């Protein structure tokens, strides 16, 4: 056996061994709480850096009509199958009301017509799914900040939680209901709206009818659909599994700016 062959064999062997060890190490690491908490450090660093560079008011890019996706892809729940939602749907959402409560001075309930009568904002923005795809759509809705000003946030309110009418997973602890949360910086951002129309048409069921959230500087899973109740809270730990959202409870970042 010549030298080159042994060296080559050694290298191949070493590489295969190292990569196998490395990979199984990564699986074990992915499941260890210590590794998870170390890896999570990156999220805080990303959020702090982006917020520092963004400021409170920097806008997400707005596009023109020519940039609209021919078909806006749907994702997640496309047809909630619970009785409450189906009843709303059958009434063309005339029986639906949006509740705004929690740590607010004046809890309110608003019908779809009442929401549509309020000043609106229309924006053509890009929706970026965590999976990697993007779609550009034209959203019309009520600025969330305006509603929160009207309801009057109590001083201890720090997050706005969005409770949705769809159950995305059957979970014994009730945490299968979709929900999301944002902090006050995003809640009062001018592009943060509760949208009732996509591309000049009433929001379709598959896109979250009658109302969905748009937080344009974050990923798709933050854009909660089928809104039923908005709650101002001081802390996210008491809600479902405590990480501030359906996907956040399943390992995804709460700050989805990346």
- Contact residues toward other proteins (CB under 8 A) are 7, 11, 19, 22-24, 26-27, 30, 36, 38-43, 45-46, 50, 53-54, 58-61, 63, 67, 69-71, 73, 126, 128-136, 216-219, 247, 250-253, 257-258
Q: How far is the CB of 204 from other proteins (least distance, A)?
A: 15
Numbers of helices and strands, H then E, in the chain:
6, 10
If the CB atoms of residues 12 and 86 are measured against other proteins, the closer one turns out to be 12
Centroid of chain to Cα 86: 23
Cα–Cα distance measured from residue 255 to residue 187, given in angstroms and rounded to the nearest whole number: 13
Other C-beta atoms within 10 Å of 115: how many?
A: 18
If the CB atoms of residues 70 and 155 are measured against other proteins, the closer one turns out to be 70
If the CB atoms of residues 96 and 179 are measured against other proteins, the closer one turns out to be 179
If the CB atoms of residues 115 and 236 are measured against other proteins, the closer one turns out to be 236
CB 163 within 8 A of CB 231: yes
Alpha-carbon Rg for the chain, nearest whole angstrom, is 22
DSSP letters, 112-153, are HHHHHHS--EEEEEEEE-TTS-EEEEEEEEEEHHHHHHHH-B
Q: How far is the CB of 250 from other proteins (least distance, A)?
A: 7
If the CB atoms of residues 88 and 255 are measured against other proteins, the closer one turns out to be 255
Q: How far is the CB of 196 from other proteins (least distance, A)?
A: 22
Total count of residues recorded for the chain? 258
Q: How far is the CB of 23 from other proteins (least distance, A)?
A: 6
If the CB atoms of residues 58 and 79 are measured against other proteins, the closer one turns out to be 58
Q: How far is the CB of 180 from other proteins (least distance, A)?
A: 15
Cα–Cα distance measured from residue 254 to residue 239, given in angstroms and rounded to the nearest whole number: 14
If the CB atoms of residues 60 and 202 are measured against other proteins, the closer one turns out to be 60
Q: How far is the CB of 29 from other proteins (least distance, A)?
A: 8
Q: How far is the CB of 200 from other proteins (least distance, A)?
A: 18
DSSP letters, 152-193, are -B-TT--EEEEEEEEE-S--TTSTTEEEEEEEHHHHTSTT-E
How far are the Cα atoms of 80, 148, 181, 221 from residue 164, in angstroms, in the given order? 10, 18, 11, 12
Cis status, amide bond into 97, omega within 30 of 0: no
């Amino acid at each position: 056996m010549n030298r080159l062959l042994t060296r080559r064999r050694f290298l191949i062997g070493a590489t295969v061994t190292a990569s196998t060890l490395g990979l199984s190490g990564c699986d074990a690491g992915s499941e260890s709480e210590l590794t998870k908490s170390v890896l999570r450090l990156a999220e805080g660093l990303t959020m702090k850096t982006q917020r520092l560079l963004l400021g409170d008011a920097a806008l997400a890019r707005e596009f023109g009509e020519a940039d609209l996706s021919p078909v806006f892809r749907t994702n997640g729940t496309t047809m909630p199958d619970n009785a409450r939602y189906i009843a709303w749907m059958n009434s063309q959402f005339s029986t639906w009301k949006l509740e705004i409560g929690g740590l607010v001075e004046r809890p309110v309930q608003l019908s779809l017509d009442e929401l549509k009568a309020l000043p609106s904002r229309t924006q053509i923005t890009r929706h970026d799914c965590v999976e990697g795809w993007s779609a550009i759509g034209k959203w019309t809705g009520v600025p969330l900040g305006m509603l929160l000003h009207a309801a009057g946030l109590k001083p201890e309110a720090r997050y706005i939680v969005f409770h949705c009418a769809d159950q995305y997973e059957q979970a014994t602890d009730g945490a299968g209901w979709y929900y999301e949360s944002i902090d006050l910086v995003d809640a009062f951002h001018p592009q943060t709206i509760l949208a009732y129309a996509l591309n000049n048409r009433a929001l379709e069921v598959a896109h979250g009818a009658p109302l969905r959230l748009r937080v344009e500087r974050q990923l798709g899973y933050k854009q909660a659909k089928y809104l039923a109740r908005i709650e101002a809270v001081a802390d996210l730990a008491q809600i479902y599994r405590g990480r501030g959202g359906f996907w956040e409870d399943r390992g995804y970042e709460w700050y989805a700016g990346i």
